[in-house]
Structures are given as structure tokens and as C-alpha cells.
Amino acid sequence: MIEATQRPRARSFSGRAEPALVSFLRSLDWILLAAAAGLIGYGLWVVGGITRFDVPGDEQYFVVRQGFAAAIGVVGLVVATLIPIDLWRRYWKLVYGATLGLMIVVFVAAETVRGSKRWLDLGVIQFQPSELGKVLFVLALAGYAVDRVGPTTRWKTIFTVIGLGAVPILLVFMQPDLGTALVYAAALFAVLFFVGLRWRQLIVLLVAGILAITSVLWLLPAAGVQVLKPYQAARLTLDPDADPGGITYNLNQSITAVGSGGLTGRGVIDASQTKLDYLPEHATDFAFASLAEQRGFVGCAILLLLYLLVVWRGLRVITGARELYGVVVAGGLVVAFLFQVFVNVGMTMGVAPVTGIPLPFVTVGGSSMVANLVLIGVLQSIHARGELGRGGP
């Protein structure tokens, strides 16, 4: 049910009453929608180039599947836009339960692929629950936090919020999926920031997080306690020159691909790193490196500008939200989105750890595409009701 249908009809510039649907459509952030549409179209074009030679005899194999995922994602965007944001807050416990359920079903029904249990085979597509879980995680956690956390909140309550967030993070980490677990952790910190914790409390939590990371990577292993698998620890402390032919091979090939693209790229045919498969995972983890090789600085800049447009409009959603819940949800989603972009792009150039975080709207994988479009839909829902609450756009 659309919340706008319960409001009086808005007045148009001519003074006549507008139908509720027209008023609702006028209240949407069309620039944000245009940015999402641009990312879908540009992402499909990029995928067409970087996967052209991956399936002999079917150059459009991955484009077709990515397009199918985008169509499902658009439906999810529309549904998320129409759902009143207050509904998520009211039923945050159900949303939280659904989030945990998605994580648990992976351990029960998913097949092990490359040592990880992350994907559910639905026949037509493979679904990765932790991707959609990113959005549900923020919606649920914000629903609990906005009623209990503020500038005068005691540490006991803060630890309760952290505990609620830690359960899904731990379940994702156990799949194992370190990259996605880090995205959840970034979203958790964003929720605590936007809900209004004091700076002193945020600094304490940040220092505690740094100490925890230091312990996991160095202190505990030195004491004989291994929390991370060896390959995970190596990714987080990766030195490109450590083992060029072994564990750092992917990173070195990625850096080579990025550097060889130059200003305008080598094109699809001459991009040897991608075409000849010297760059592993060039359609998933290192999609940005393949884009840099084929389309150069210009092609990468276009993609980054589209991301910047989404982040900018997301920040406007935060400032225009009607209530604190909308602020916290929008803030958590924007930070999670930006974190994914920053880490994925950074890891292709050796300035961020190689964690397997997908590049939004580009990495081949339907789950990421659907989740990010649902994210856009939630932002639209918050923005539209903020505009309607002020009497129209």
C-alpha cells in the first residue's frame, strides 16, 4: 500500500488537485533513477566487452544473464519504492529473522564451490543470499537502533546493537566470505554513526575495531591461534612483490591490466590480459581492471562518475528524510555501497586488500545486481515520502 494514497491530493502549478499516483511519481528522485539506469546500461556494455571471448560461440552469454538479473532487479526496485519505509521499522524483527534465515539456509542447501558455501542454485539463476542480506541487515538493525540509541545511550545498549549486527556478520564470515562480512561491518558502523552516538563513543568503537583486526592478523596467529584461513590472511596483508607467480599472481596481473589501458584503453580485441585470460576472475573480482584495460582512464572515469552521482543523491536522501529511521537506513545503505566501490576499485590497483567484494552493477552475478537495485528502491521510498511530507517536490 502506498502511503501517499492516504494524503490529500497535492496541488499542481495550475492550482488543480493532482491524483495521488502523479504526486508520488513527481516526488521521486529522477536523477537517482537516471544514475541507476545509466549504471545498468553502462554495466551491460562493459560486461559485453570483458566477457566476449569467455564462452566460445556465444559472445552475449553473460550479457543476457546479466540483463535478466537487471530485469528482476528493476521489479525489486519498484516494489521497494512502493513499500512505506515505516513498514520496515514496524516489522524489524521479522526483517532481522529473514536476514538470519537467508544466511542459515546457505549452510543447509548451498553447494560448496571453491571451498565456500555462498550460492543457492535456483535453476535459472544462482542466488547469493548475503547480497540481498546487506539491504535487509541495514533495515532491521536501524529499526532496533533508532528507538534505543542516541547521544545519552549507555554502553550496554550499544553493545546490544553490536551484538545483533555481529550475528549476521559471523554467519557470512563462516561461509567463508570475508569481503561481504566487511561490508556488513561497515554498514553496522554507519548505523551507529547516523543514529547519533557521541563522537567519543564512535572513536572508542573505531579503536576497538582496529585492535580486533590487529589481533586477528598478527597477535593471535603469533600466539598460535588462527582465526582466518591462510589465504584470507594473505589477501589482507598482500604484498604485490611477495610471490609474483603464486599468491600475488592475480594482483600483479590486475595492476598490469590497469596500467596498460592508458587514457582511452586498448579496446576489446587488443586487451590481451582480458582476452587471453591472463587476468583471472576478470568478469567478477577484477572486472574494474578489465574495464581499465579495454576502455582506459576515460571508461573508468565514466563509471566512477555514475557511482558518485548515486552517492550524491543518496546523501540528499539522508538530508531530506522525514524521520530518524529514514536517515539511518539511507546512511547505512550509502556507506555500504560506497565501501564496496572503494574496496573493489582499490584492490585492482593494490591499494586495498583483495577480498572478493563485487563491483556494483558491473561484476557478473545476478544477486549483486538485484540487491543494488533494491537498495536504490529503498532510497527512493525514503526520498519520496520525505518530499510528500513537505507538501510535494
Helices (H), the chain: 20-26, 30-50, 61-82, 85-90, 92-109, 129-145, 155-173, 178-194, 199-214, 220-222, 230-236, 249-260, 267-270, 272-275, 287-320, 324-348, 366-389
Torsion of CA 159, 375, 75, 87, to 10 degrees: 40
User: What rounded mean pLDDT belongs to the chain?
Assistant: 86
pLDDT digits (tens, 9 = 90+) for 266-288: 999 988 888 888 888 888 889 99
Q: Find cell 598490469 and name the residue.
A: 256
pLDDT digits (tens, 9 = 90+) for 37-49: 999 999 999 999 9
Rg (CA), the chain: 22
3-state secondary structure of 17: strand
**26: pLDDT strictly greater than 90:** no
pLDDT band at 27 (very low <50, low <70, confident <90, very high): confident
For residues 194 and 226, what is the distance between their CA atoms, to the nearest angstrom?
34
Residue type, 221: P
pLDDT on residue 6: 42
For residues 18 and 370, what is the distance between their CA atoms, to the nearest angstrom?
32
Give the other-Cβ count within 10 Å of 25's Cβ: 14
Give this prediction's pTM: 0.89
Beta-bridge partners for 116: 113
Residue 74: all three cell numbers together: 528493476
Interacting residues of 331 by C-beta distance below 8 A, sequence separation 6+: 190, 191, 193, 194, 318
pLDDT on residue 62: 92
pLDDT band at 115 (very low <50, low <70, confident <90, very high): low
For residues 229 and 206, what is the distance between their CA atoms, to the nearest angstrom?
24
pLDDT digits (tens, 9 = 90+) for 349-368: 888 788 878 999 999 988 99
pLDDT: is 157 or 17 the higher one? 157
